[in-house]
Amino acid sequence: MNLFLNPELRKNFWLKFSFFRLISVPVLVSIVLYIITNQADNWAEAAYQAAYYGFVIIVFIWGNFEAANSIASEAKNNTWDFQKMSSIGPWELTIGKLFGATSFTWYFGLILLGIMAVCAPLLPPDATGKYGTPIAATILYLVIAGIMGQATSILTALENIKFRKSGVFGPFLLGFIVSHLASAVNNFDKFNTPETHSWYWIDANIQVFSIATLMFAFFWILVGLQRKMREQLQFRNSPVAWTAFLVSIAAYFGGFDFNASPGTRFLFIYLILCALLYIALLGEARNLIKYQRFIRFYRLKQYHRLWENTPLWAPSLCLALIFLVLSNIFVEMRENPLPHQINLLGGTITLLLFIIRDALFVHCILLDSRKNRDGFLLLFYYIMVYFLLPFLCISITETQNEAMGTEILKRSYHSIAVFFYPVGSDNLLVAVVPPLLQCLFMAFVLKSSLKKMASRKRNGAVEED
């Protein structure tokens, strides 16, 4: 099957286009441009600005809405299940939704980009401060930003289907934010940024490097969209793509010149991997069936199927541990980048333990399908653990130690903070023991919750018999 002429893409072309639509867009654009440029001092600049903001409205706003609605409408009309049972593959469905559902907005947008390209050479010389980026780069930024946002809208809409939600606003808003942020990279010239950027041993032009970064981000958004389509079509997804994403992220950020030692770079990569680990842990928290399959295939020693059901947080944790070790090996104590003489080993381990603590609690709440107020429980947990309890303890400490000096109060604050935040300490045990104890307690709570779930399942099976 031709990837770019698949049935989903052709279906959307037939739905989005008609002879009237093909003719009406150029006519409408011509009339609007005539009205705008008729009284303008410089018609080229007026037409350029009108085309630019028109592109933002048509592609960034309307296009992202169409992308999100292409999934949400099918879920709302109960036609998504029929789509999943068709013979179309995940890549064909991805391309068909991404470029088919938004095809009419891109027809509109490409006409506006053509107007920008025609008007760019005619802009007045004093406009270079506004339009310093070459027109080819500007158009490329806008196209990449538009596709990135629309892919994000579809990806978020697919994630909503997983939770039986068919809203459009959330996916649309996230897609618009991605489009806006990606297009904002085009404005680097206005902030006195250097013309070249050092990455590993390459001194790349800032525009080339920015476009390459956007292409890198778009590639992984597209891969993520295809993997989510595979999941919807009941294909098995191994963590190969996620692992490759983590490795590429580590390689990308490892190439920046921070004028620092390799250990500091490893520490920076470790912090990024910890953030991705947190996301992966939260994302897998509802997937009880996947955990059950993982345990079953492990017992059966079916390692291929075991790998297919491996949670995404497993490779994330492995890579985070690798960079935790590397950052502590290559950063000497005199180069410790952490403030207040915090022990580096204690600080890095503490961060990982707090992530595991939160993940254990979230798993305890979300794995139990009987709890229909899990959103409120999670919100309550985060507010209590990160806001109310710490400030309550601090308030009590201040009341009891009003006569003490400022230095003693600061030490008291830090003693309280190590129980609630990954702040670390100059003492390894003081930094690690509090979150470790919390992790052990959360693990006990999760184990008890799983036992209760298994008991309910056995009792239900007995009642059915």
**Nearest Cα residue to 228 out of 99, 97, 128:** 97
Structure tokens at 403: 């006569």
Percent of the chain with pLDDT over 90: 32
Measured distance CA(280)–CA(261) in Å, rounded: 29
pLDDT digits (tens, 9 = 90+) for 234-281: 888 889 999 999 999 999 988 876 566 777 888 889 999 999 999 999
Which pLDDT belongs to residue 234?
A: 82
Strands (E), 382-445: none
Higher pLDDT: 257 or 13? It is 13
Of 67-76, 229-238, 303-312, 449-458, which range is least confident?
Answer: 449-458
Structure tokens at 138: 């500007």
Which pLDDT belongs to residue 258?
A: 57
Measured distance CA(416)–CA(396) in Å, rounded: 11
**Nearest Cα residue to 65 out of 174, 159, 145, 185:** 174
What does the CA dihedral 58, 92, 136, 55 come to, rounded to 10 degrees?
0
Tell me what the mean pLDDT of segment 352-359 comes to: 92
Residue 396: band (very low, low, confident or very high) from pLDDT cuts 50, 70, 90: confident
Asked if the model's pLDDT at residue 188 lies above 70, the reply is no
Asked if the model's pLDDT at residue 16 lies above 50, the reply is yes
Measured distance CA(175)–CA(180) in Å, rounded: 9
Structure tokens at 18: 């008609």
Residue 231: band (very low, low, confident or very high) from pLDDT cuts 50, 70, 90: confident
Measured distance CA(98)–CA(153) in Å, rounded: 9
Structure tokens at 291: 């955990």
pTM: 0.85
Asked if the model's pLDDT at residue 150 lies above 60, the reply is yes
Residue 332: band (very low, low, confident or very high) from pLDDT cuts 50, 70, 90: low
Structure tokens at 400: 């009891």
Tell me what the mean pLDDT of segment 176-185 comes to: 90
